[in-house]
Amino acid sequence: MYHVVRDPDGSVISLHREPVDGAELLPPNHPDVQAFLGQQGGRSFADMDASLVRVLEDLIDVLLKRNILRITDLPIEAQAKLFERKHFRENMQGSALKLFADQSPELGGDGFSDSGLIPPDWSMPEVPPR
């Protein structure tokens, strides 16, 4: 539950976890609370950003496969983040049902991960301390 403070027009101007003078108590799923937090129809910018991250990751994979972009063109920090996500996703999908066998180099595959980005035994680059 949130303690909601409204302006004279009735618009929410702040949310509080603790009681505040002149605030009303509303549940987190109340439309006014969701609107204040930037959520419309149950979706938030964070939800949309998470979906967009996957699109960008797939876009980078396509650019790499077509040799338009080289992974070394990206800063080392970006490389590390991409490799971390790729390995995490591959580990999450490791127990998933596989409908198609992995292609080996003899069968026209690249012998790398699904994206052709990293060999299976490759380790992430070291990120220099800031």
Q: Which residue has the tokens 């910018």?
A: 45
Distance CA(62)–CA(85), nearest Å, equals 16
Q: pLDDT tens across 53-68, in order? A: 889 999 999 999 999 9
pLDDT over threshold 60, residue 122: no
pLDDT of residue 72: 94
Say how many domains are in the chain: 2
Residue 98 gets which letter from DSSP?
Answer: P
- Identity of the residue numbered 128: P
Produce one character per residue of 113-125: b if its CB has 16 or more CB atoms within 10 Å, e if not. bebebbeeeeeee
- Is the Cβ–Cβ distance between 22 and 5 less than 8 Å? yes
Q: pLDDT tens across 24-44, in order? A: 999 988 988 888 887 555 566
| 57 and 88 in a common domain | yes
Domain that holds residue 8: 2-36
Is 113 inside any structural domain? no
Is 116 inside any structural domain? no
